[in-house]
Structure 1
Amino acid sequence: MLTTRFVTGAPNWLDLGTPDIDRAAGFYDALFGWQFQSAGPEAGGYGFFRLDGRTVAGGMQTGAEDGPPAWTVYFQSPDADATVKAVEKAHGSVLMAPMDVMAQGRMALLTDRAGVPYGIWQPGQLKGLDVVSESGSLCWLELYTPDIAAAAGYYNAVLGWETSSVSFDEGFYTCFNPGGQSEDTMFAGLVQLHDDPTDSGAAPYWLPYIAVDDPDGVCERAGQLGGTVRLAPTDVPDVGRMAKLADPFGARFAVLRPEPRQEG
């Protein structure tokens, strides 16, 4: 489960790169109630999506040279420079070398062996997102990859992640948790890219899930707002009701109404 008790390797930030931040902000406001607030001129157009005054994500306007519109997930690193060295040793790539973001923290943008972009965030004054795992906020991640074993080995070498398996009727679902933590801290699953018909022919990528109370209503609104429903709302036993979408510019995300947790 995602929490804001950010430990080494855990997801601690999420942001959107989009060619039209104003229109994208309107889309996510109508969908989730997120309000976009600029971080000021010194932040180069970067800003924060807030829900009830709490930061749920970041975002900024990007150009074609920055790649396609997409959500990027960041993972906590105690030392961004050391993590980048581990990435290079593990045959990943560095898209943006470590840089200080004022006094807020230190970041880098990377890709894994399969070319999947992601970021690392070494906290300074900004520790991470204000809220996760509540309605309207990040609650899960999936990595769509051509080689689950290779991806597991890469992220273990770079960020110390451990894996475990959850059994389903059709097989097993491999999950990530931060190194040295219990399986209760699982935050992501791995999906064989070519086994998913919604991503046939797509490049590998990270998919963020946003918790919602009404996935069907979200999908209906998304279509009305120019978004795309990539996978219609579907019930997953013992998990919840989920759907996959893309915003009007093609940035992919998913929504999930989790099943209530069973106590005891």
Structure 2
Amino acid sequence: MPANPFVWYELMTGDLDAAVAFYGNVVGWTAQPFEGGDPPYILMGVGPREHAAGMMTMPDELKSAGVRPHWMGYIGCRDVDAKTADVRQAGGKVHREPWDIPNVGRISVVSDPGGAVFGLFQPKEMDEPPPLPAPMARGHVGWRELYAADGEQAFRFYADQFGWTKERDMDMGPMGVYRIFAIDGVGSGGMMTKPPQVPMPHWGFYFTVPEINAAVDRVKAHGGQVLNGPMEVPGGAWIIQALDPQGAGFNLVAPPPAAG
């Protein structure tokens, strides 16, 4: 049976118009309002038919609960109700029970046993799910990264629930082991036990840009903050970790520079 990949990424923000403008400038996305979205929902991508992510204003109840602007990823599944129950049975937490989005699908919001939040998404038309973008496709998520409460426990959870496999482990010295995981044989992300300075377990997502230094300049020019990098990673890609002007964490990755 095929493994379950991440299929969608969503930003909840305090200023929707400002977020649309920031990521449009930094990542190169264009915006398209989702018809019938209430509250407004904006589809972002490199073209009108190549959506990579969505954005919406954070609901008041989340603001009141102290939730900050953030990105969240959704893992695809064929039966969101059954998988939500599986996550609960495996020690995870259900933050919002499954509900329907008309003409789109059915979703829930859960967290793994260590507390990292993610969504589950069952598309309305499961017979013909949309194809996933190629690895490192411009404007799409090129890497997914989990800072886990316990890296080994987290890997077992995602392997059991979604069929992910270990590609290899990297020894990070004092920071511990960084495990690269594969989805259907394709290296798709990494996970590790979070360092003490990271306040809580969470997923992070790396949006692909053509070149990292120009992207750093765009982040700074449009009010973002670079927290870490640019840094070369194994394989020759370059990354940064950053905050957008509303305080949501995001990451960028660029492929290795062309030889010559």
SS state at 2:195 partner: helix
Distance in 2 (CA, whole Å) between partners of 1:203 and 1:169 is: 20
- Displacement of 1:209 in angstroms is 0.6
Q: Determine if the alignment matches structure 1 residue 19 to structure 2 residue 19.
A: no
- For 2:215, which of 213, 218, 223 is the aligned residue? 218
Distance 2:110 2:94 in 1: 4
C-alpha deviation, 1:230, in angstroms: 0.8
* One-letter identity of the residue aligned with 1:30: N
How many residue pairs get matched? Answer: 247
Compared CA separation, residues 169 and 69, structure 1 to 2 (3 A):
closer
Matches within 5 A, 1:110-149: 110-125=110-125, 127=129, 131=133, 133-149=136-152
Within the candidate set 123, 128, 150, 2:153 is matched to 150
Alignment match of 1:174 (pick from 174, 179, 183): 179
Mean alpha-carbon deviation: is it higher for 36-45 or for 87-96? 36-45
CA distance in 1, matches of 2:222, 2:153: 38
Deviates more, 1:229-238 or 1:131-140: 131-140
Cα 1:260–1:233 shift into 2, 3 Å:
closer
Counterpart in 2 of 1:231?
228
Residue 186 of structure 1 aligns to a residue in which SS? strand
Aligned to 1:58: 54
Q: Distance in 2 between matches of 1:190 and 1:50?
A: 26
Greater shift, 61-70 or 206-215, is seen at 61-70
* Alpha-carbon shift at residue 15 of structure 1 (Å): 0.8
Structure 2 residue runs of 5 or longer lacking an equivalent are: none
Residue identity (%)? 27
Q: Counterparts in 2 of 1:201-212, with a 5 A limit?
A: 201-212=198-209
Decide whether the 8 Å contact of 2:227 with 2:241 is kept in 1. Answer: yes
Write the letter of the residue equivalent to 2:226. Answer: V
Output the aligned Cα RMSD. 2.3
The farther-off stretch of 34-43 and 49-58 is 34-43
- SS in structure 2 opposite 1:223? helix
* Superimposed CA distance per residue, residues 200-234 of structure 1 (whole angstroms, 9 cap, x where no aligned partner): 14211101011111211111221121111010201
Provide the secondary structure at the position in 1 that maps to 2:108.
Answer: strand
Residues 52-91 of structure 1 correspond to what in structure 2 (within 5 A)?
A: 52-53=47-48, 54-63=50-59, 65-66=61-62, 67-91=67-91
